[in-house]
Amino acid sequence: MVYAKPWFSFEQQLVKLQRRGMLITDEAAALDYLKRIGYYRLSGYWYAFRERSELVVQLSPTGGKPKDIKPTRMVLEPFKAGTRFVDAVDLYVFDKRLRLLAMDALERIEIAIRVDISHTLGQLDPFAYLKPEYLFPGFSQELDERTGLSKHHDWLGKHARLIGRSKEEFVKHNKAKYGLPLPIWVACEVWDFGTMSMLFAGMQEPEQDKIAAAYGIANGRIFATWLRSLNYLRNVCAHHSRLWNRNITEQPKLPNATALPWSAPYIGNNHALARCFLLLRICRHLLATINPKSTWPQRMLEHLDTFPDLKHLGLDLSGMGAPENWKDEW
């Protein structure tokens, strides 16, 4: 398929938005935002402002009858009545601050869980992370049919690359004095969130449960899904991607509401499970153990209260998956 969309100057982009029904109250400021942020990036924020069709059944890509007849509302080109350029900018700025706050929490969580893993496995053996007998058999022994390699082998490759390209003085020191491999309490300092969460998922259940229990979660396999989801959140934030209403593809599992009362509004709620608010609430839960005196929960609450007034477009914090009375369990 040939790409047919033409190039537009910034001025032409502004005219296009006006023709689609967007109100531009300050053209000079709008042009400045288009030049500094870009039409395409901002379009992810005004996408939610576009009109929707009545329920329709879309044809298959070949023009025939679809296999799965599922009525849906198509996104149309015109904007909803009352849409302003400044609404998209306000939402963009809110989302930027949201990502920064999320990264603040994720840094603390990543460092704390690194210590938990290295301390727990290090007690078994300083090099337990290298030895299959200390890890879950499905991680360390089962082979992928396509590659003939275990998940542990794949993990070791990623770990070796992190060690190999590290310029940290402590890595150079340990290599020079003791050689390789590095004991886990040294090695863990070069892991990123993904490497850390992958190793946790490959740990044996008693060690998983021990770490999870410290955070009030009895089941370490559930805790492993939390870390995987938070790694997804970290990647979204690190790449400056839109967060507030993103569909979360790596969704965490939750214990029952008796074990974790605040989880009740999310259990069985497909929309809430697929939005970022739940991940922020998980950060809140973990930080209560990592640093009970942290100001992060209050700072995040105050920021959430600054969500732009977009009621005229039918948007509020529910688009993030926030329960109706979210402050009661924050």
Residue 61 pLDDT? 67
Q: Do the Cβ atoms of 284 and 230 come closer than 8 Å?
A: no
The model's pTM is: 0.93
Residue 63 pLDDT? 63
Which of the 8 DSSP states describes residue 48? G
Element (H, E) at 50: strand 50-56
Residue 54 pLDDT? 83
Q: What does the DSSP assignment read for 178-230?
A: H-SSPPHHHHGGG--HHHHHHHHHTB-HHHHHHHHHTTT-S-HHHHHHHHHHH
Q: What does the DSSP assignment read for 119-147?
A: HHHHHH-TTGGG-GGGB-HHHHTPPPTTT
Residue 4 pLDDT? 87
- Token pair belonging to 98: 């949201």
Task: Give per-10-residue mean pLDDT for the chain (330 aa).
Answer: 91 98 98 98 97 77 67 89 98 98 98 98 98 97 91 96 95 95 97 98 98 98 98 98 97 97 97 98 98 98 98 97 95
